Chain A
Amino acid sequence: MVDILDGLDSIFPAKRLLCDPASLAAFESDGLTAFRTKPLGVVIPETADEVIAVVRWCHENRVPFVARGSGTSLSGGSLPVSGGIVIALNRLNRILSLDPFERIAVVEPGVVNQHVTNAAAPHGLYYAPDPSSQSICTIGGNVAFNSGGAHCLKYGMTSNHVIGCKAVLATGEVVEMGGDSVEGIGPDFTGLFCGSEGLFGVALEITLRLLPKPQRFHTVLVGYRSLQAAGDAVSSVIDSGLLPGALEIMDALSIEAAEAAVACGYPKGAAAVLIVELEGPEERLEYERQCLEAILEKTDAFATRVAADEADRLSIWRGRKSAFSAVGRLSPDFLVQDGVVPRKRLGEALVRIEQLAEQSGMRIANVFHAGDGNLHPLIMFDGKIDGELHRAEQVAAELSRICIEMGGSITGEHGVGMEKRDFMPEMYDAVSMEMMADVRRAMDPHWIANPGKMFPASEAPALSNVGLHPLEKAGVISRE
């Protein structure tokens, strides 16, 4: 037992208070494998009271802590802090209530995203936010990083579906924000808590709103000879007044990767594919299907595949959802970016990415949520070659700057975390950064809650190797 952990052993039995190097190794990284840090210890609470107790212990002893669910953060958001505690929340995985009459669910933070939808399904309901890691990522992490998914254009992000939250702040204070109505009064503390990247405290109970499952889907995969043509098609769909559930584009390199990984059967020779998904009651869908057909006919498409049934629809999505991990087949290592640009500047951004690829000599595959301008360039490199990681990071940095310069954002859905914290002062001016720091201090006077994330700091841990997350390699999770 490390001395500093004295006191924690009265809260946790030995098997749920891990200090040995082998156990700690399992927690030293998250979905952003570029960073690795060994924490001082890991606690595995089974109740909210245990979470409150460990946070209060951290507060009293000024020990930093990082709350962690499944560790799928792509921004290093759940990276441990050297000399700190990891609070592993996976055992707080109970759906405390699911009320089909009110269409809400109250869950613990360790509940897996997909499990909410599974529990709601018998009632014809579902939980809308669908990050690609939804089969494993937890609601607590989704709340902390305001996770997105492929359906954000129409349905918004996690925060649009969280209506209440009970949390223990870094001060040890237990607070209840929002409630069981989608409307509130007074400032929206629930909204502020969502996306605060664990810097305020730890969510204990989260109230989610559930939506009726769409009756039908209409999913179309369209092949284009150029990225520009696919981008133009997106503009045509948007300008038509349709509001698709999803509008996704993949370029040739990402198609090649997905094809190699899951044989998704995308149109051969396509420089880009566009996935459009409409959803809703069948009467409306039939009408919108015809509108979409007329729009797509006028675009420069050379191949169109309409999902014939649910299995076909899932196979179209399989190619898209596997794209990131599939890139691992093309390159030993890659970095994934998450910038956002105004939709009308997507074409310009893609040209800049192409130029960057040429200048750096690095291959960059592109997958993006075209409907909301959210780019995911995948910068491929070989970490074993001296200096390659550094060059890849420079390319990634340049991409973040391009997004800022174009009036967009450095992150659409992965969060700032460790990865993009140095760009925050480029996106927000000094006064706005100061305001964020002041609010953070109000919630956490000693900066013990997930320190080193979101705000630029000098406490960066050592870089380690880059590559697929072990769970990605195993095909368990994929990235959005």
Chain B
Amino acid sequence: MNDDRLIVESVDDLAKVVASESCVLPVGNCTKAPLSKANQCKRVSLQRLSGLIEYEPSEFTFTAWAGSTLSEIESELSDRGQYLPFDPMLSKAGATLGGTIASGLSGPGRFRYGGVRDFCIGVHWMDGRGRLVRGGGKVVKNAAGFDFPKFMVGSLGRYGILVDVTFKVFPKPAQSLTWSVNCSDHHAAMNAISKLASSRLEVDALDYRADLRELAVRLAGPADVLPALSQEVRRLMAGGQQLSDGDAIDYWERIKDFEWSGLENPVMIKVPLNLSKFLKLNESLQTNDQCHIHLSVGGNVGWIAIRDASLLTWLSKQLESQGLAGLVVGDREQKMQDLASSSNGGITTFQIGRWPASEMMQAVKKAMDPLSKFPGV
């Protein structure tokens, strides 16, 4: 990607960019390439608006600049025995807090306590007039005013530029343990997920690698109690094996880093699902061996990896026919751009399948961005 980003050093700089450009797309470190570009729009990076602004561990909250990388924040939290429980995605690649909210991506840990939407409790954003707007607050419980922090989750930089953000955090479990189970077929796997998700065990993460029919069950908590709980998993699953600590770390990191598929630099798509929808979708996708699916968050998110961006047209049709929507989030090698320059009329945006659309959505966009300073929706 040509690095044509304007990198701002301050909020004032940002306001000047907003005032002078006709269209602005906020980005961080562009770890989600398809979401980090928009035609005829100036990309402005907030990567230098980074660092903690406030962190009081006893409050279970922190406020940081939106351009802070996940890795620096996770490291600060870890030093105080705390964490963001939703396994933020693409931390290793340099993803920022702002980009995490705007893209609305949560990792496997979303299963236990909730995702970005559940932990983002306050935001300041810059609107198209260069004004700072506040939504939410800095305390863990707050019912005053519209919940803009939640609205910003998944907003893709189309409604304003996140400047600083406040998150709720939790105490970090002392240890975790991962149990791996091979399932006889996908139906058995879905039954196992449902059973574990409804069990007394308070499972921490529950993911399924479809082509290997391999279920991964993560338990987290005090070291003393994990062996007993894992025995219960063994009993419920009638087998399986515990991954070594190294293998377990590797397994979960690969999901967070989009490296689970075995494909080199795949195009990666997020599809909200549930167990029944997965079964149906997987049936239609498994005809294509260039397409892999990993089911995360206890069956609620499908990560689809494809080798070739030209498959997006086919994939979009599959999703469309099942009433599903997909967000293309990973495309490190700019395969979609190649597609755009080819003559086959393939998909060139990050939206595939059936996205929700309504008059209300357009009305809200117009209300929040009356000058159309940000890309359209």
Contact = CB atoms under 8 A, between A and B. Distances in A.
Contact of A184 (B154, B225, B277): B154
Contacts of B356: 176-177, 186
A118 B142 CA distance: 28
B135 A442 contact: no
A343 B60 CA distance: 9
B59 A343 contact: yes
Contacts of B299: 102
B145 A146 contact: no
Interface residues of A, number: 92
Most A CB contacts (10 A, CB to CB) among B110, B143, B158, B327 go to B143
A125 interface: yes
Nearest to B325: A185
A344 interface: yes
Given A153-B140, A159-B147, A173-B359, A212 B300 contact: no
A436 B145 contact: yes
Interface string A417-434: 000100010011101100
Could you say which interface size class chain B belongs to?
Answer: 35 or more
A408 B361 CA distance: 31
Interface stretch (A11-19, A82-90, A367-375, A457-465): A367-375
Interface in B50-76: 56-60
Interface string A399-411: 0000000011111
Contacts of A316: none
A71 to B, nearest CB: 18
Given A184-B104, A192-B147, A435-B368, A412 B275 contact: no
Given A183-B300, A280-B202, A284-B222, A344 B171 contact: no
A413 B274 contact: no
Most A CB contacts (10 A, CB to CB) among B58, B127, B270 go to B58
Most B CB contacts (10 A, CB to CB) among A185, A407, A410 go to A185
B202 A195 contact: no
Most A CB contacts (10 A, CB to CB) among B104, B117, B148 go to B117
Given A148-B143, A281-B229, A436-B145, A187 B198 contact: no
B153 A239 contact: no
Contacts of B59: 342-344, 373
A286 B221 CA distance: 12
Contact of A182 (B56, B110, B270): B110
A191 B104 CA distance: 13
Contacts, number: 261
A148 B144 CA distance: 12
Contact of A175 (B151, B358, B368): B358
Interface in A85-115: 100-104
A400 B29 CA distance: 41
Nearest to A435: B133
Interface string B325-368: 11100000000000000000000000000011011110110111
B104 A146 contact: no
Given A148-B141, A416-B145, A215 B368 contact: no
B228 interface: yes
A427 B144 contact: yes
A437 B35 CA distance: 29
A122 to B, nearest CB: 12
B360 to A, nearest CB: 5
Which 3 pairs show the lowest CB-CB distances between chains A and B? A191-B150, A215-B200, A442-B367
Interface of A: 100-104, 123-125, 145-146, 148, 152-154, 156-157, 159-160, 169, 171, 173, 175-177, 179-192, 194-196, 212, 214-215, 235, 238-239, 241-243, 280-281, 283-284, 286-288, 340-344, 369, 372-374, 407-416, 420, 424, 427-429, 431-432, 435-436, 438-443, 454
6 contacts: A182-B300, A191-B150, A212-B198, A281-B200, A287-B224, A438-B368
Given A187-B153, A429-B134, 7 more contacts: A145-B143, A177-B356, A186-B356, A214-B200, A342-B139, A420-B144, A439-B146
